[in-house]
Amino acid sequence: MKTLFLLFLFCHVSSPVKHTLKFFFTASSGVPNFPELVATIVVDEILAGYCDTNTKTIKPKQDWMKKVFEDDPQHLEHYNRHCSENDPVFFKTLMDSLKQSFNHSGGIHILQRMNGCEWDDETGEVNVFVQYGYDGDFFLVFDVKTETWIASKPQAITTKQIWDKDKDRITDFKKYLTQIFPGWLKKYVAYGNSTLLRKDLPSVSLLQKTPSSPVSCHATGFYPDRATMFWRKDGEERHEDVDHGDILPNDDGSFQMSVDLNLSSVTPEDWRRYDCVFQLSGVKDDLITTLDKAKIRTNWGKTNDMTFAITAAVVVFVLALILFIASGFIAYKKKKGERKIKD
């Protein structure tokens, strides 16, 4: 099971006017006490709905998603039908076929699918995506332009050939990707606009484990996840001796991130020449925190707030990661090196 924790990362949309609807499916074989199929609805990186083969019904995870189902019972019925009947049969059949193709008779195996769309509410542009993964590797990708499947593994060729010949299935699949899903996404954004379109600034703290450790500029509680943070010296962005962390989810739907600065070669009188800058997409003013030894929260020689802050952050991250794995997030590697974000 440990390897499962390494398979999934999730990716963030960089534009402030782009919205995403993603459906994640995880089918498992040989995993004790775990549903054979788990499915989630994710809107703008927020978990909106969940179902599995144990519950067999869709569970809204946001108040606005609950309202969508209350106002449109047929929409709820569509999800419940797929959760209890259509999807479990499809994924079990495909899993059995793949295990045979890979000559896998036992052990733990994971089959995943991510599909959905991205909608730019400013230009109206819609992009769609469908990807399958098997045991952590890409397996099949759908090319909507050519209406064909692309095999990433030799074992996927047979499945590709069968699916390419099923023109009715492709037509129906393309209709969902290019018409139905974008319509759903626009509805979800309209219902959840107070949540999805909000801008929450974080609280920013300076943390240090020991006197010789790097100083960490830690921001938590911001939303959305389209943010960046960096260190400056005399007003110029600093790249040397700086380590950027990934954006991580909090359990309340907000996000956190850190950027570390190594001060081993900096004299104490030069500390105040440095500051930490946090930028949130769509927000004009930056949050600037000057490097001040008196403001650094430490934990050497005593147990204080920093210990609990770091422990809480780790616990939240682990819990969130487990949720994402259970929800079937196909791996995307977060692009690094981005520093500035256009408003």
Q: What is the pLDDT along the chain (343 residues), one digit of tens a residue?
A: 433 333 333 333 333 468 999 999 999 999 999 999 999 999 998 899 999 999 999 999 999 999 999 999 999 999 999 999 999 999 999 999 999 999 998 899 999 999 999 999 888 999 999 999 999 899 999 999 999 999 999 999 999 999 999 999 999 999 999 999 999 999 999 999 988 888 999 999 999 999 889 999 999 999 988 899 999 999 999 999 999 999 998 988 899 999 999 999 899 899 999 999 999 988 999 999 999 999 999 876 544 444 444 444 444 444 454 444 444 434 433 443 444 444 4
What gap in Å lies between CA 334 and CA 147, rounded to an integer?
A: 28
For the entire predicted model, the pTM comes to 0.70
Among 2.60.40.10, 3.30.1370.60, 1.10.238.10, 3.40.50.620, what is the CATH number of 203-319? Answer: 2.60.40.10
- In CATH, what is the architecture of 2-196? 2-Layer Sandwich (3.30)
Tokens of 168: 């009715």
What gap in Å lies between CA 173 and CA 84, rounded to an integer?
A: 20
In sequence order, the β-bridge partners of residue 280 are 227
What gap in Å lies between CA 296 and CA 27, rounded to an integer?
A: 46
Owner of token pair 């996927």: 156
Owner of token pair 């600034």: 201
User: What residues does each domain of the chain span?
Assistant: 2-196, 203-319
